Amino acid sequence: MAKTYLISGAGSGIGRAIAQQLSKNGHNCILLGRNAAKLKQTLNTLSPGDHAVFTADITDKLNLSTVAHQLRDKVIDGLVANAGIGGENYWSDGDRWHTIIETNLTGTYNFVNTFLPQLQKAESEKHILIISSVLARLGVANYSAYCASKAGLLGLMRSWAVQYAPQKILVNAICPGWVDTEMSQEGLQGIANGIGITKDEFYDIAMQSVPLRRMSQPEEIAGLVAYLLSQGSITGQTIDINCGAIMNS
């Protein structure tokens, strides 16, 4: 039976791969993101279905409410909170702390709460799936905002799992490690520039802490998400998918 999933940050990377996997499985995808062109690119890669695209910024409650109004008659079976930003932050006048926290943590809070009424209309098991990060588990210098925001998502997930269990809403999170996306490639390059080596050299260093010595592919993350959205007994859990990186922490 075809279900409908709303995916934030669906214009690229993990979000695009999730939409592709869910559509391949016969489901309908509502794509949400800030970049209309990238969302349209994702839409063009999906298997046939009743898909839709909406442009919105998860930090903007009014923006999200406008989309929710357009979807007011829609039944949504699952919310995939994938949108987020990365990068370093420093205590200074240009500190990105608030920007990162507002996007990754508060933005997820905004996204889920805005579309919760559409989710509650579904009759079978309903799902909230949050994309966190291995850096919710580990510390990295100069990534204080990112680490804090991703760790905060796990607390948010556990609270919601208890709160919404009586409504048969299952809430889980996953913590990917290095995933071969544009954001990760930019992160590799940024750190490499900071320490004065090439991106390839830093990649080799980074993989030393990963037992499988490789990045995950977006399609692997999407496969796990699709499974979690298909089951009815796992809730309140964080699943690590990072090629074994957490074992070396």
Q: What is the DSSP letter of 87?
A: -
Exposed/middle/buried for 131, CB within 10 Å: 0-12, 13-18, 19+? buried
Q: Are 141 and 99 in contact (CB under 8 A)?
A: no
Element (H, E) at 221: helix 218-230
Nearest to 237 by CA among 147, 148, 188, 165: 165
Which sign, positive or negative, has the C-alpha torsion 154, 155, 160, 161?
positive
pLDDT at residue 248 above 70?
Answer: no
| % the chain with pLDDT above 70 | 99
pLDDT at residue 11 above 60?
Answer: yes
Q: Stretch 182-202: mean pLDDT, rounded?
A: 87
pLDDT at residue 249 above 60?
Answer: no
pLDDT, position 114: 98
pLDDT, position 245: 86
Q: How far apart are CA 81 and CA 63, in angstroms?
A: 16
Q: Are 82 and 112 in contact (CB under 8 A)?
A: no
Question: Looking at 33-47, 67-81, 142-156, 185-199, which range is the least confident one?
Answer: 185-199
Work out the pLDDT band at 187, boundaries 50, 70, 90: confident
Chosen CATH of 4-178+217-243 out of 3.40.640.10, 3.40.190.10, 3.40.50.150, 3.40.50.720:
3.40.50.720
| % the chain with pLDDT above 90 | 84
* Exposure b/e, 169-203, CB count within 10 A at least 16 = b: bbbbbbbbbbbebebbeebbeebbeeeeeebeebb
Q: How far apart are CA 170 and CA 172, in angstroms?
A: 7
- The total number of residues written for the chain in this structure: 249
pLDDT in tens, 206-234: 899 899 999 999 999 999 999 999 999 99
Q: How far apart are CA 170 and CA 239, in angstroms?
A: 14
State the chain's mean pLDDT as an integer. Answer: 95
pLDDT, position 247: 66
Q: How far apart are CA 68 and CA 20, in angstroms?
A: 23
Q: Stretch 37-47: mean pLDDT, rounded?
A: 98
Q: Stretch 90-118: mean pLDDT, rounded?
A: 97
pLDDT in tens, 113-131: 999 999 999 988 899 999 9
pLDDT, position 1: 86
Question: What pTM does this model have?
Answer: 0.93
Nearest to 128 by CA among 173, 176, 164, 79: 79
Q: How far apart are CA 52 and CA 54, in angstroms?
A: 7
pLDDT at residue 85 above 90?
Answer: yes
pLDDT in tens, 16-27: 999 999 999 999
Number of helices (H), then strands (E), belonging to the chain: the values are: 9, 7
pLDDT, position 185: 87
Q: Stretch 32-58: mean pLDDT, rounded?
A: 98
Angle 153-55-120 from CA coordinates, rounded to 5°: 55
Exposed/middle/buried for 59, CB within 10 Å: 0-12, 13-18, 19+? middle
pLDDT, position 190: 82
